[in-house]
Each structure stands twice: as C-alpha cells, then as structure tokens.
Amino acid sequence: MEISFVAWGPSGPGTAVFGMAEGAGLTGAAAAADQAAGGALKRAIGVTRFTGKEGKIVELLAPANVKASRMLVIGLGKAEKFDAAAAERIAAAIMARLLNSGETELTFAIEAPKRAKVSDAELAAHLAFGATLRSYRFDRYMTKTKDEDKPSLKSIRVATRSAVAAKKEWAKLVPVCEGIFLARDLVNEPANVLYPDEFARRAKALGKLGVKVEVLGIKEMKKLGMNALLGVGQGSAHESRLVVLSYNGARNKKTPPLAFVGKGVCFDSGGLSLKQPVPMMGMKGDMGGAAAVVGLMHALATRKARVNVVGVAGLVENMPDGNAQRPNDIVKSMSGQTIEVLNTDAEGRLVLADAIWYAHSRFKPKFVVNLATLTGAIMIALGTEHAGMFTNSEELAKRLTRAGMEEGEPVWRMPLGEAYDKAIKSKIADMKNIGGPYGGSITAAQFLQRFVNGVPWAHLDIAGVAWQDGEHKPLAPSWGTGWGVRVLNRLVADHYEK
C-alpha cells in the first residue's frame, strides 16, 4: 500500500473521506467539501440518523463538479475523547469498507476537532497506521480468489497541515507495523509449514537488520540441561530449537539488556494428554508469544532503538508418538529443579521454565518479560480484550499497564502469592506442572516464577488476545493479531532507550 502525506487542497481522484465529531455538524474541510458539492453532504446527513458517532459512515457518489469519485463522512465520536487510537479505529473502518470495493485511491481529509487529544501530525500518522494495519491479508494459500474479492485499493493520501512532521511520526510507526505483520504471518502459518526449524529459519532473517541470531539444537540444549523444554518436543518428528536474538543498540554496549522470552509451541496436540478435536483447532497459534518476540525484535532493530535487547524463543511441537513424554514423568530443568509432569497438555510452562532460566542466567538482564498463550483459564477471567499480567515488579506493572492503555493492547494485573504455591506442590518432586481446578492461570504463573530467581519479571498470558475467531478487533482483519509488538515497543521507547 502506497502511503503519502499531502497538503490541504481540493480532493483528488478516488474517494475523499472527511470527519465529523459527534453533534458538531460539518466544519473545516468537510464544510468546504459540502459547499463544493452543492450541499450534497448535508442533504445526505439530513436523511439519515448520522450524528457523528464514532465509526458511523455516510457515503455518496460525488457530484459531477467534484473531482473525487465518491465522498464519505465518518463519525469521529466525542471531540474531547478523540485521540490517536480513535484515528486508527476510524481509518480501519474506512479500509474495511473500501479495500475490496473497486476503488483504487483514497484521500483522508480529516481534521482533529477542537479539544481533541492529538496533534495534526499525530492524527495524520495514525490514520495511515490504522489503515495499514487493517489492510493486512494472509492469502498466500488462496488459489481461486475472485477478482471482486481481491484488494483494489493501491494508494492512500493523508491531507495535513503538518506534512513534514507527519512523515517523521509515520517513520516511527512503519517498523512497528512491519513487526506486527511478521508476528501475524508466523501465527497464521499452518503447522505443516511452520515447525520449529522453519520458525528458526525465518527468525534468521533478522540478521540483515543487525540482530545476532543463534539457534540451539537438541545437542546444545541437552548439554545445558534443558530437559523440561526437550521433554515437551520428544514425541515430535520435528526437533526442538531455541532461538536467541541479540540486538545491541545502546550507546553503551555493556549496558545490561532487556530480555523478552516467548513460548513457541508450533503445534500443540496436548501430547499423550490429548486435546479434544475442537480445542485442538487453532493450536498452530500456540507459538504466539514467540511470534511477538520476533516481531518486537524486528521493530526495534529496524527503527534502530537505542537499547540492548535479547529475545529468546523456545520452539517445540507437542505430539503423541511412542517416544512422547508421559503423565507422571519427572524431568530435571536447567535450573536443577525437578518437575512432576501430571498433564502433558500443560507444556508451555515447561518450555518457558528453561527458556526463562537461560535468558536471565546467560544475559543478566534488567528484567525478563515472557509472553505465552498459556492458559484457557485467563480467557475465562478476562475474555479476549485484556492479556493477563503477573509480575513481581511494581515498576514493570505500572509501565506495562500504561503502555498497554496507550497502544490499545491492554493488560490486567492478576494476583500472585505463596498460598497459590500449595496447588503445585508435588509429593515426589520439587513441583508438579498443574494445580487443581481453580485459578489455573495463577498457578501457571506461580510455576514460572520459580524459574525467575529474583529477577524483575512479568508474565503476559496472551491466550485470549493472540488470535481471534472473527474480526471484532478493528485493526486486525486476520486470525492472528500480532498482539504484543505494540505494547512492548512502547514500553522500551518510553522507559529504556538512552
């Protein structure tokens, strides 16, 4: 999609889009366009129930004396609540309407209403951002798409009084968009294509951005004592891998890095604790945490972030062959702690146990943040709008909460406490990998905390937000959402770059 920022002027060819705040009437560019169209916009609004409510649209074919082919007015919502996130949502709504419409060109001529919480440059950049995120498609396996179902829109112009500043703001967002698209691609790929070796191969592409990429195989992981991770993948025909991504962008290369760790179960059958058919559908996306880590590293390296960062992705397949891990097996993790495996479908925490220990013991980071599609229980608690956040750090809790609110990837803090540890106490090992029927997302987090070794840490359970069955998230038209890239990029940008 070609994106350009242009000065205000008469609407060009294609569709012209204007905005109207709730209850405000047509003002500015919209009023000027209405005058040029002989009052056609006001007449169209007058015969509908359009009031400027966010996302509502009035559309008409442009009169003969107007250069544009059609004119749209989209509601901006209440003026005092209009911000960059609202700009992204309305741009996404326009893209949903026009992407496959036959239209090839689009011009946004939307002005921020008075009392809005966004500058002209930010408005323009986030209109482009929202439109671009909504334009994503994962159609590489479609061979018979009809012409009328193919995207027709080729170029987007954003009219603004601050074109130079808007271009600078947009330049900051392009790497993030690329990282989100990469994460979505990884989550959307089928498991027969994206198994651990193939995931690792794609991660190696970050080398051209200045990221050091290491891939550990079974031999190296055995030597390190990563038996918890390796036990999960031992029933698969595809060997497990650990991908380690290192980016040193800080002026002081010796500054301790930030560490992000992702669960990368490329397919989760449940192992011998086999899932039922319906819950097994979608388990190609059980590597959403690892996908977010790779997408984040792409974004940080592309925008040359002034920070040292490591990303670790534990990549396995959880399959039920004759060599598969059994319920009641005991494994010794890299930390030396032993785990009684009572349910082989509680495998993500076993992968993360070794990956987290590896990250903090090797790199001595300022903190560790891990992401994982870890538990169905978090979806029972929070639905599909918030990720669950568990942390031992008040500072990380505040910063992640703020970043999530600002980036539209909200997190909700969940409790931790010694009382929950009782649920994972084993009679024959240091711990067991499942608790009782209650508080499943909490006991999973308690399990992970045993491998943090006192380092500032946050666990993001993204089972409810990494993918979606419909298209209820306006900026994410596909199954995979790419959740995590935005919130973590914002966390880094706001607090850790020097």
Residues 316-350 have pLDDT tens digits of 999 999 999 999 999 999 999 999 999 999 999 99
In this structure, are residues 477 and 96 in contact, taking their beta carbons and an 8 Å threshold? Answer: yes
Q: How confident is the model at residue 472 (pLDDT cuts 50, 70, 90)?
A: confident
Query: In which residue are the tokens 């004396």 written?
Result: 65
* pLDDT score for 1: 85
**Statement: residue 474 has pLDDT above 80:** yes
Q: Which of 157, 184, 349, 473 is catalytic?
A: 349
Report the alpha-carbon distance of residue 136 to residue 321 in Å, rounded: 37
- pTM of whole model > 0.85? yes
Active site residue 275: yes
Q: Which of 14-18, 22-26, 210-214, 481-485 has the lowest mean pLDDT?
A: 22-26
Mean pLDDT of 277-303: 98
* 412 or 145, which is more confident: 412
Which H or E run contains 187? helix 163-188
Give the residue carrying structure tokens 């991908």: 243
Provide the β-strand partners of residue 432.
Answer: 340
Q: Rounded to an integer, what distance in angstroms lies between the CA atom of residue 492 and that of residue 498?
A: 10
What does the mean pLDDT of the chain come to?
96
Distance CA 165, CA 171 (A): 10
Domains and CATH numbers, the chain: 2-161 (3.40.220.10), 176-495 (3.40.630.10)
Q: What is the mean pLDDT of residues 396-421?
A: 97
Q: What is the DSSP letter of 442?
A: H
Q: Name the nearest CA neighbour of 68 among 40, 99, 27, 42.
A: 40
Name every residue whose Cβ is closer than 8 Å to that of residue 281 and which is 6 or more positions away in sequence.
Answer: none
pLDDT of 11 over the 80 cut = no
**Side-by-side strand order, sheet with 15-21:** 2-6, 155-159, 105-108, 15-21, 70-77, 57-61
- How far apart, in whole angstroms, are the C-alpha atoms of residue 135 and residue 426? 50
pLDDT band of 13, cuts 50, 70, 90: confident
**399 classed as catalytic:** no
**Is 456's pLDDT higher than 90?**
yes
Among 22-26, 54-58, 237-241, the least confident range: 22-26
Q: How confident is the model at residue 62 (pLDDT cuts 50, 70, 90)?
A: confident
Q: Report residue 77 CA to chain centroid gap.
A: 26
> What amino acid is encoded at 421 in this protein?
D
Q: Which residues contact 115 (CB under 8 A, 6 or more apart)?
A: 79, 80
Dihedral sign computed on CA atoms, order 34, 35, 39, 45: positive
Length of the chain: 498
CA distance 316 to 322: 17
pLDDT over 90 at 424, yes or no: yes
Give the orientation angle of helix 163-188 with respect to helix 288-302, to 10 degrees: 150
Residue 360 and residue 259 in contact, taking contact as beta carbons nearer than 8 Å: yes
Q: Per the residue annotation, which of 81, 204, 275, 413 is the catalytic one?
A: 275
Residue 429's φ and ψ, nearest 5 degrees, are -145, 180
Q: What is the pLDDT of residues 222-248, one digit of tens each?
A: 999 999 999 999 999 999 999 999 999
Q: Which of the listed ranges 8-12, 111-115, 454-458 does the model predict with the highest average pLDDT?
A: 454-458
Neighbouring residues of 18: CB distance < 8 A, sequence distance ≥ 6: 26, 29, 30, 33, 41, 71, 72, 73, 74, 109, 110
